[in-house]
Structure formats: structure tokens, C-alpha cells
Structure 1
Amino acid sequence: MGIYVAVRGWLECDKEQLAAAQEIISSHEDGHYSHGWGAPGRPVNWTHYLFYGADIRESAVDWLMHQIRDMARIPANEDGDRVTGLFLASHEIDGMTEWQVREGRLLISPGDGRHRYLDG
């Protein structure tokens, strides 16, 4: 059956950065786990959000992290704002980690105990 990781979180960006992120997603399309990505049909105000939520096989974690790292490297906009975000990844055996998207990078740290209720 395999080991699964529940990944849920979001990215924040502007309209142009969202388009670049969607191109990254398209370039990694796998016909299955790619369906975990979603965005509101109509944005509200100036910040655009891109969400991911899926239970993925442990073997697909690197595939997803590669996409998120590419999105983190999307250039800053004219205001100097970069893509930012937060994901929680709950591994069936190893527990939760937090994936922070900031400063053009994906930073990974142990998950905060306050979020363990999500591992139900």
C-alpha cells in the first residue's frame, strides 16, 4: 500500500507570479497528484492564492517540493514582493513538518505541536 504524506497549504503572490506558478504546475503535470493544486476562480482584491491539498505517496514528495522550490524562485514583483507560503506535511511515520516559502526558498522545519490535531 505504501506510505502517505498529507500535504496542505498555500502560496501568496500577485497576478503575474500566479501565472508563472501555474506554468510550473503545468510543466510537472502527472495526471494525478497535480489535481491537488487549486486557486479561486475569481481573486478577491490584490493578493492571489494558490492552494495544495492531497494525500500523496512518500515517493511523490520530492516531485511536489521541486515544484514549490521553483515557485519560491519566481522573481519578486515591482514592489519587491516574492511568492510566500506555508504548507504542513504529515508523514504517516515521521510526523509533521512545516514547509515555509519565503525569501526565494523552501525552508523545512519540524511541525509545531499546535498543529498535531490535524493528523487526527
Structure 2
Amino acid sequence: MGMYVGVRGWIEFTHEQREAVEQVMAAHRHDLYSAGWAVPARPFNWTLYVSYGGDIREQSVDRLRAQVAELARLVDSEGDRPVGFFLLTDERQQATAWTVQDGDVREGAAPVEFRGFAR
């Protein structure tokens, strides 16, 4: 059956990157878990915040991480890459963080302040 992992977080883009973001999402489409992505319906202010929230099977975490890694490598017209943060918690009360920065996804223990979100 497998364990579930709660994943919630966001990654920040410029509005000019929206089409590229949507292409990455389409390329990694998963019938169930892709529904966890939320993209604002229309642009407002300066930043396009793309968020994810959902409980996914442990064996699907690597697939989602690969998608986030591909999003992390996008570059805007000024040469900047996205930044973001994702918190993953599981049924073993483990809390992991993905930090998106400099075109990479770094994985490590979640900050102490977030460990209370583990179920």
C-alpha cells in the first residue's frame, strides 16, 4: 500500500516564464498528483507564485522532485533562476525541506520551526 507524504510549498517565477512553467508541468503530468499544482489564473503584481499542496505516495516523491528540479533550472530574461521552498512530512513524523535556489533543489532536514507539521 505505501506511506503518504504531505507536500506543500511554492516556487517563484516572473510572469514571462508562465508558458515555460506550464510546459514543464505538462511534460511531467500525473493523472492524480498534478492536481496539487496551483497557478494564479491571471497575472497580478510582480511575481508568479506557483504552489503545490497534496498528499502523495512515497514512491511518487522522486517524480515530483524531478519536476521541481526542472522548474528550478528555468532562467528569466535577466538570467535569474527561481527560488522556492517545499516542506515534506510523512507518517513517520519525518520533516524534510527542499530549498530551490541557483538552479538546484537542495534537500535536508526541515527547519526546527516546521518539524511540528509532521503528522
Residue matched to 2:19: 19
Residue matched to 1:66: 66
Aligned-residue identity in percent: 40
Residue correspondences, number? 119
Tell me how far apart the structure 1 counterparts of residues 93 and 33 of structure 2 sit (CA, whole Å).
21
Give TM-score scaled by structure 1 length.
0.91
CA contact (8 A) 1:6 1:55 kept: yes
Tell me how far apart the structure 1 counterparts of residues 108 and 40 of structure 2 sit (CA, whole Å).
28
Residue matched to 2:44: 44
Tell me how far apart the structure 2 counterparts of residues 68 and 27 of structure 1 sit (CA, whole Å).
12
2:8 is the alignment partner of 1:4: no
CA contact (8 A) 2:93 2:118 kept: no
CA contact (8 A) 1:17 1:83 kept: no
1:45-92 CA-to-partner distances (Å, cap 9, x unmatched) read: 1110101000000000011000000011112x2333211100001122
In structure 2, the gaps of 5 or more residues are none
1:9-55 CA-to-partner distances (Å, cap 9, x unmatched) read: 00101123232121111111111000000112123211101010000
Tell me how far apart the structure 2 counterparts of residues 17 and 92 of structure 1 sit (CA, whole Å).
35
Residue matched to 1:109: 108
